[in-house]
């Protein structure tokens, strides 16, 4: 019961935060309620299955766009409607790109995508083209403030949807070994899995590689680690970065296991 209440508090906080913000700008309880409901739907994406969370976020932004559409009146609501609806469409395109074409380009660079949508919406909605630069500056300031307000919500959301390390990685050995070889292996593997530091692991594997194996075979065995690159984009939104970090840890763990198995089949480490 306590865990359910603990999970419910951020959801209630999300709804009221965005509903109050909408009420401040619209003075309309219906608009504020619908806007808060849309934000709540988007918040639940943090605990939704990978990739399906894009559909949930899209639904949330479409509901928020509906709330702004009801408010109407002036270029600001029109701009917000176009922006929110555009972001919702962006999430649908990101999902389609992953499912249909196997490309996560839009999701990895979603922050840049949102910026393009916002600028396009401003150019369409703003009534005076001559003052559009001042409006764009005001927009950037407003987006920065909204982003700062949204960060805590997305962080809590991603943490609730995040699997624990015990769920993510295979269980550790029941009786850890304390000899120098095992301790060093554990240290370099941990550095690679947790932080992506591959140099210490490569040095260890090459130093302890099978003596009778040809250099070309050893090079081929460790090549997956040499070629490893973290696929995180600086333009990705916070919830994507959070989930990708855990996926990258699992990917690095699998790489280590595959390489060690290959070297073991060639004569073992030692």
pLDDT in tens, 219-234: 788 888 888 887 665 5
| Tokens linked to 192 | 């690679």
Cα 129–133–136 angle (5° rounding)? Answer: 105
Rounded mean pLDDT, 86-108:
89
Mean residue pLDDT across the chain: 78
Q: In this predicted structure, which of 20-24, 185-189, 239-243, 264-268 has the lowest mean pLDDT?
A: 239-243
Please give the pLDDT value at position 87: 92
* Dist. CA 116–CA 83, nearest whole Å: 10
**Cα-trace Rg, the chain:** 24
Choose the weakest-confidence range: 61-65, 123-127, 128-132, 180-184.
128-132
More confident residue, 169 or 132: 132
Structure tokens at 204: 């260890």
The count of C-alpha atoms lying within 13 angstroms of the C-alpha of 199, restricted to the half-sphere facing its C-beta, is: 0
pLDDT score of 170: 43
Question: What is the residue whose two structure tokens read 């996926």?
Answer: 247
Residues contacting 82, CB < 8 A, separation 6+: 117, 120, 121, 124, 125
Mean pLDDT lowest for which of 25-39, 121-135, 150-164, 240-254?
Answer: 150-164
The span from the CA of 179 to the CA of 156, in Å, is 41
pLDDT digits (tens, 9 = 90+) for 240-263: 677 777 888 888 898 888 888 888
- pTM for the model: 0.57
Task: Give residue 95's pLDDT band: very low, low, confident or very high (50, 70, 90).
Answer: very high
Minimal CA–CA distance to 95: which of 67, 146, 61?
A: 61
| Residue 91 pLDDT | 92
pLDDT at residue 84 greater than cutoff 90: yes
pLDDT digits (tens, 9 = 90+) for 48-64: 887 888 999 999 999 99
Residue 196 gets which letter from DSSP? -
Strand ranges, E, within 10-64: none
Mean pLDDT calculated for residue range 212-217? 62
186-202 pLDDT, tens digit each: 888 888 888 888 888 88
Q: What is the pLDDT of residues 131-154, one digit of tens each?
A: 767 767 776 777 677 666 655 655
> What is the rounded CA–CA span in Å between residue 164 and residue 171?
12
More confident residue, 157 or 11: 11
Q: In this predicted model, which residue has the larger pLDDT, 38 or 103?
A: 38
Cα 162 from Cα 258, distance rounded (Å): 25
């Amino acid at each position: 019961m306590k865990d359910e209440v603990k999970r419910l508090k951020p959801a209630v906080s999300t709804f009221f935060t965005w509903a109050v913000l909408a009420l401040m700008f619209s003075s309309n309880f219906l608009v504020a309620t619908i806007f808060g409901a849309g934000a709540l739907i988007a918040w639940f994406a943090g605990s939704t299955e990978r990739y399906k969370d894009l559909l949930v976020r899209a639904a949330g932004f479409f509901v928020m766009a509906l709330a702004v559409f009801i408010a109407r009146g002036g270029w600001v609501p029109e701009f917000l409607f176009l922006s929110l609806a555009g972001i919702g469409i962006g999430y649908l395109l990101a999902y389609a790109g992953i499912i249909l074409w196997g490309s996560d380009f839009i999701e990895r660079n979603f922050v840049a995508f949102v910026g393009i949508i916002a600028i396009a919406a401003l150019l369409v909605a703003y009534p005076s083209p001559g003052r559009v630069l001042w409006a764009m500056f005001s927009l950037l300031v407003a987006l920065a403030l909204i982003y700062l307000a949204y960060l805590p919500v997305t962080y809590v959301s991603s943490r609730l949807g995040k699997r624990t390390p015990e769920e993510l990685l295979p269980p550790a050995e029941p009786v850890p070994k304390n000899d120098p070889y095992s301790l060093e292996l554990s240290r370099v593997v941990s550095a690679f899995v947790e932080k992506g530091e591959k140099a210490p692991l490569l040095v260890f594997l090459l130093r302890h590689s099978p003596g009778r194996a040809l250099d070309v075979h050893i090079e081929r065995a460790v090549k997956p680690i040499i070629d490893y690159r973290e696929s995180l984009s600086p333009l990705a939104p916070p919830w994507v970065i959070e989930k990708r970090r855990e996926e990258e840890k699992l990917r690095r763990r699998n790489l280590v296991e595959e390489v060690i198995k290959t070297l073991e089949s060639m004569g073992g480490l030692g």
